[in-house]
Structure 1
Amino acid sequence: MSAGADILGTESVSIGELTISGRALLAPMSGVTDVGMRRVAMRFGASAVISEMVASDDYVRGAEESRLRAEGEGVTPHIVQIAGCEPYWMGEAARLAEASGAAAVDINMGCPAKRVTGGYAGSALMRDTSLALRLIEATVGAVRIPVTLKMRLGWDAATLNAPDLARQAQAAGIKLVTVHGRTRQQFYKGSADWGAIARVREAITIPLVANGDCDGPEAAQAMLSASGADAVMIGRAAVGRPWLVGEIAGALAGQAATPIGLAPRKQAAIEHLETLLGCMGAHAGLRHARKHLSAYAQFAGAPEDLRLRLVTSDDPRQAKSLLEAAFSENSLSQAA
């Protein structure tokens, strides 16, 4: 698909030799977009999903948490996001992801968390474009699969350097750029500036994905119009309703909206819980699942007391029973 495609259409997005169908992607969110959530999102029509951010050195050294974050079984295409501040580890992490079956590698230069930026990774790299480019070159040079880049508008309002970094990244071999419409200093405050992403569109010819505050089909269309991007990326709005990404993809393809029934949503939530229990074990899996269980129950219209019991339960069987009850408590949940 050429840059700046029509808002509505059936175009796919080409990431080097990889082609994805549709124009709505699930954002990588650390501690959130586990393999269970990604599987559900893909099953309901997401164009692509990206793993949680993986620390490049830990991943190469074989850390169990990194392995779980990069898990891609049942997800096609499998895209692994890596982060770091040393070219060697970034290149090795990309090689490992490719050897493990990844179809693409994404570089994180957008995470605003202090624990990441304090190590000169994530969005901190937007303050040092020389290092950022060395990391890009090391990653691109290590693999045959396409490499993509996710960034913010800049470190702060005084340094909105996303267009320049994107231009240099394309020259270094990056095949797609995603821009979150906030600076690092904004974290997630205020509103994403979709119009500012348009300046990145003017700087590159490779596909551009716009990210930040996309919570439905109307927002997605407005985001594409304001930014000139080729696709949208949905993050926090998909927690508790990962099917939202597919709904947006369908709307952008001009498909008539078809409400997802209560039964398939309930089954998806249970499947997500069971995936986490299977991957992480009963104790760790249930603790990790709580953020998802709370969101599923909230969007299902479950009462507050049931949601509280759900997120404080230490018994996987009880949690599953409460999750099932959450989807049958309120008939209005079908419109959530």
Structure 2
Amino acid sequence: MSDHAPLSGRDLIAALCVVLIWGTNFVAMKFGLRDFTPFQLGAGRFLFAILPLVFFIRPPKLSWRIVLLYGLCQGVGQFGLLFLSLRAGMSAALASVILQTQVFFTAIFSYALLSERPSRALLAGLALAACGLGCFGLNYVGGAGAAGAAGSAAAAGPAGGTTLAGFLLCLCAAAMWAASNIVVRRAQRSTPQFDVLAFMVWSSLAPIVPFICLSLLFDDPATRWRWTGAPPSTWASLAYLGWMATILGYAMWTGLLKRHPVNRVAPFSLGVPVVGIAAGMLVLGDTINGLQWAGIALIVAALACVLWGGRLLDRARARL
């Protein structure tokens, strides 16, 4: 299929639905954290992700070590740290942006572990992303940091800023997402045609027991029975995170990648932070200051550089 062939109407709708689901998924996390601890939310998310599909879908034809490792990296690592970040003071709007730095962590890990050389466009994107993270970091030092520290008493308050702990935990979540990407690449090398839906469902089994154990170890005993008294909105957020964001979102995205070249599908990922920012500000009342807007602009520019920079360089060389 041509790299320039337009998506069909059905595929365009699927791509936009994925962007909408993944962008609003951060708001659903905030709703879930109103009644559940981060570890309880993690266990609930993946319980919903496996039920009832685990009874109807056969296990993937992959080594169980790969399935388990992915489940731990993506489940306990990425989402466990992300839920802790949101509880510690990261806003839903900014989390949707900072988590996209997984693209650059993936590049670093690929170079270190898979010997994949970064392109010039990727190196330029890394530089822009570093500047963007620097803008976010400036909120926690000097005068901006004082304002952030004053607002950290109401860490996740909708009118306040973010906290340094929330920011660092969100970066760690992005790094764990990148680690799970490396696991998937190794899986694709060993079994190029593996069933992604079966892989997602069965790997979602891995985080459940660790999350339950972490909850028993670290959560206040008084919070352990909130499950029975949680309002319908909280259960709806769990269902949204498990069924829509985890299973349906990844299934539709993978289907698009199977039918179209990566460079036709990947640009839609730029819409996720746009939807995330809009949803956070409209639904939760998240606020963003000048330095954070600068950081957002630089990270989005970095992602655009990675997606389109290589083609622009190739065209420039061809003209010369």
**What TM-score do the two structures reach when normalised by structure 1?**
0.28
- Answer 1 or 2: which has greater helix percent: 2
**What TM-score do the two structures reach when normalised by structure 2?**
0.29
- Answer 1 or 2: which has greater strand percent: 1
